[in-house]
């Protein structure tokens, strides 16, 4: 039988310590990413992006459900998140201390990578009889998920156009239920079409996207140049006609607390995979 000596045991002990150190280091690479409500296309897309990055870097990204980009920006500043789903307007206002972030600027916020342009959906039940944005005046309508960028965009756009619904504020999943059971005439969300939740509601309570006129688009984009005209093609949602809307770029943000090497690795893994 081989006799074990200190000479034999020392390499084994070094390996054990090394393994423990590696495990500890691995645990320290966990990152939290703020996203959006579940049931939306963005949640799936963000989660898939995080999975790809986690599989190709030493970082383990946990996706957290949130109300949306405004909540993400607040939690990013508070140090509750390492990464946050964002959109162009939120990033601009937060960095410059304007609009919603006039009292809480964060000049340390940074863009990690863009994902894709997103499109505002302003949808009403087909059986509501509403055909134009002006028809929404006084009606029970959800402006998008509480704390999300879509809610703020809706407020800004409707304010410019003089549209005054009876806003019902809630998470988008609850708004979808409200539309389905008839408590709401419609709801909003900012996403890449087709949005799964809209497809689901449309299958049980047919929807129609409200369409902006060329004049309305011109009026809004003059005031809000970060928005751009976009078209949701006919039959994006079965049987639904074409609608003219507004779009904005979406991405992932961090602060300068996340070191540059980490940002490089995350971005490289995202675009290469």
Can you give 34-76 as a three-state secondary structure string?
ECCCCCCHHHHHHHHHHHHHHHHCCCEEEEECCCCHHHHHHHH
Buried b (16+ CB within 10 A) or exposed e, 239-248: ebeebbbbbb
Domains 26-117+251-272 and 118-250 alike in fold: yes
pLDDT number for residue 254:
98
**8-state DSSP, 101:** G
pLDDT number for residue 130:
98
* Cα 148 from Cα 87, distance rounded (Å): 10
**8-state DSSP, 170:** B
* Cα 23 from Cα 172, distance rounded (Å): 39
pLDDT number for residue 7:
41
Question: What are the residue ranges spanned by the domains of the chain?
Answer: 26-117+251-272, 118-250
6: exposed, middle or buried (Cβ count in 10 Å: 0-12, 13-18, 19+): exposed
Q: Specify the CATH architecture of the domain 26-117+251-272.
A: 3-Layer(aba) Sandwich (3.40)
Q: Average pLDDT for consecutive 10-residue bins of the chain (273 residues)?
A: 40 39 55 91 92 96 94 97 95 93 97 93 98 99 92 96 98 96 98 93 98 98 93 98 96 97 97 96
**CATH class for the region spanning 118-250:** alpha beta
* Cα 57 from Cα 269, distance rounded (Å): 7
**What is the DSSP secondary-structure string of 124-151?**
EEGGG---SGGGGTTSEE--SBTTSHHH
pLDDT number for residue 183:
98
Dihedral, 149, 150, 155, 156 alpha carbons, nearest 10: 70
* Cα 22 from Cα 28, distance rounded (Å): 10
**8-state DSSP, 122:** E
pLDDT number for residue 230:
97
pLDDT number for residue 16:
39
pLDDT number for residue 59:
97
pLDDT number for residue 28:
52
């Amino acid at each position: 039988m081989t006799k074990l000596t200190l000479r034999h045991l020392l390499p084994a002990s070094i390996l054990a310590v090394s393994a423990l150190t590696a495990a500890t280091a691995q645990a320290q690479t966990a990152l939290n990413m703020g996203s959006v409500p579940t049931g939306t296309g963005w949640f799936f897309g963000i989660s898939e992006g995080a999975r790809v990055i986690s599989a190709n870097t030493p970082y383990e990204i946990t996706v957290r459900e949130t109300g949306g980009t405004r909540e993400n920006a607040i939690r990013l500043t508070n140090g509750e998140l390492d990464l946050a789903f964002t959109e162009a307007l939120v990033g601009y206002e937060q960095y410059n201390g304007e609009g919603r972030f006039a009292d809480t600027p964060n000049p340390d916020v940074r863009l990690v990578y863009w994902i894709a342009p997103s499109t505002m959906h302003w949808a009403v039940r087909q059986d509501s009889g509403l055909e134009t944005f002006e028809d929404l005046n006084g009606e029970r309508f959800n402006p998008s998920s509480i704390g999300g960028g879509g809610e703020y965009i809706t407020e800004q756009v409707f304010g410019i156009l003089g549209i005054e619904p009876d806003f019902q504020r809630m998470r988008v999943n609850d708004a979808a239920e409200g539309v389905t059971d008839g408590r709401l005439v419609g709801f909003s969300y900012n996403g890449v079409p087709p949005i799964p939740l809209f497809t689901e509601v449309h299958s049980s309570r047919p929807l129609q996207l409200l369409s902006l006129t060329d004049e309305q688009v011109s009026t809004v984009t003059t005031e809000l140049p970060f928005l751009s005209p976009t078209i949701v093609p006919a039959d994006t949602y079965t049987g639904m006609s074409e609608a003219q809307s507004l779009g904005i770029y979406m991405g992932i943000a961090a602060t300068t607390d996340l070191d540059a090497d980490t940002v490089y690795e995350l971005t490289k893994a995202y675009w290469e995979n």
